Chain A
Amino acid sequence: MPQAEPVAAVPTDAALIAAWQGGDEQAAAELVRRHARALARFLASAGAPEADLDDLVQETFIRAFRAVGRFRGQCRFRTWLLTIGGNVLKDAGRRAKRATVVPLGEDVRATDGDPHERAVAGEAEGRLLEGLRRLPRMQREVFLLRAQQGFEYEEIAAALGTSPGAARVHYHHAVKRLKEHLQ
């Protein structure tokens, strides 16, 4: 009877962070592989144009790796990373406003990419994006962290530096306004 191959232990985020702090570049690369898509989804939903998505993801990871010494494990690495992504997006929005070339958020849905895919994305998604764009930043981020990423209020509160009760209130306000917008 053939013996099952031993399953290699998957290093935790904490182990990868410690390895990166010790100078292991591949640990940083593994963290990018692990969280880049979730981050991209979060940023795209929060209003990042697809053309800028790659740059914003890179910038978020750079900031996170540089500031990782301040990450105390108060929440998951991914939650912390997404909140940094929110700051990066806000800064990019400010720069875009100053440049006044293409105002960020004019159309948060991708204007490039496969036209067929865009067509089938559906009106509801477009309306939700539009509704999200109109929300205050805190409500938008709490909603996305909860509804899209599936985090608990305690986790969200720890990442955003607020209380679980306040996070719950932000979420409910967001849901109420989004429902009104979708109807």
Chain B
Amino acid sequence: MRHDELHDAKLHDLAKRLGAGAAERLDVERTAQMVLARLRAEPRVSVVARLWMQPAWLKIAALLVLLLGSGVVARRPWRAGAPGTATVIPVGEDLTGLSADQLREAIHSLDQPLAEEGAGSVDAGLEGLSADELRALLHALES
């Protein structure tokens, strides 16, 4: 037998002896009865409850994903449903296939949001204007 094999055999022998005393002292019958009692007493944990028992970081990550997800969902219909929203032409789209009329329509649709944005921006920051400035603004809007 080679020296290495002898050493391996000794290692295996040692490993087989590890924990043998502790295992012998285990009351197997009592353990079996305890396991049965716990199986009867503790109902199966639901998937939701099991998820909730995960470490705290997982809960925080899940909460963040939920918040972000619900934010995205909440924003989507508002944007899609906003009145007067201009048609968006993808930047990379090839325009060479469009006719003159289609191009005019596209240019018109690009102009639209700028005009609307200009009007819409009146709502923002009015509290900073003086009475005279407000009057002038109202007058400009009416004309």
Among candidates B18, B20, B39, B42, residue contacting A129 with C-beta atoms closer than 8 Å: B18
Which of B7-15, B84-92, B105-113 participates in binding chain A? Answer: B7-15
Which residues does chain B contribute within 8 Å of A58, judged by CB atoms? 31, 34-35, 38
Report whether over half of chain B's contact residues are helix, strand or loop; otherwise say mixed: helix
Among candidates A32, A45, A117, A124, residue contacting B32 with C-beta atoms closer than 8 Å: A32
Contacting pair B42 A62 (CB below 8 A): yes
B74: Cβ under 8 A from any A Cβ: no
B29: Cβ under 8 A from any A Cβ: yes
Contacting pair B19 A41 (CB below 8 A): yes
Contacting pair B23 A41 (CB below 8 A): yes
- Chain A interface residue count, CB cutoff 8 Å, equals 40
Knowing A113-B25, A117-B21, say if A36 contacts B31 (CB, 8 Å).
yes
The complex places the Cα of A28 from the Cα of B37 at a distance, in Å, of 11
B142: Cβ under 8 A from any A Cβ: no
Report whether over half of chain A's contact residues are helix, strand or loop; otherwise say mixed: helix
A-B contact count (CB 8 A): 102
Across the interface, name the chain A residue whose C-beta is closest to B29. A33
* 0 or 1 for each of A115-135: is its CB under 8 Å from B? (1 = yes): 001000100110011001000
A152: Cβ under 8 A from any B Cβ: no
B24: Cβ under 8 A from any A Cβ: yes
The complex places the Cα of A110 from the Cα of B17 at a distance, in Å, of 14
Knowing A37-B24, A40-B23, A44-B23, say if A125 contacts B31 (CB, 8 Å).
no
B115: Cβ under 8 A from any A Cβ: no
Can you list 6 A-B contacts (CB < 8 A)? A29-B32, A113-B22, A128-B15, A148-B16, A148-B18, A179-B7
7 closest A-B pairs by beta carbon, nearest first, are A44-B19, A32-B32, A40-B23, A147-B15, A41-B19, A45-B18, A41-B23
Residues of B within 8 A of A (CB): 7-8, 11-12, 14-29, 31-36, 38-40, 42, 44-45
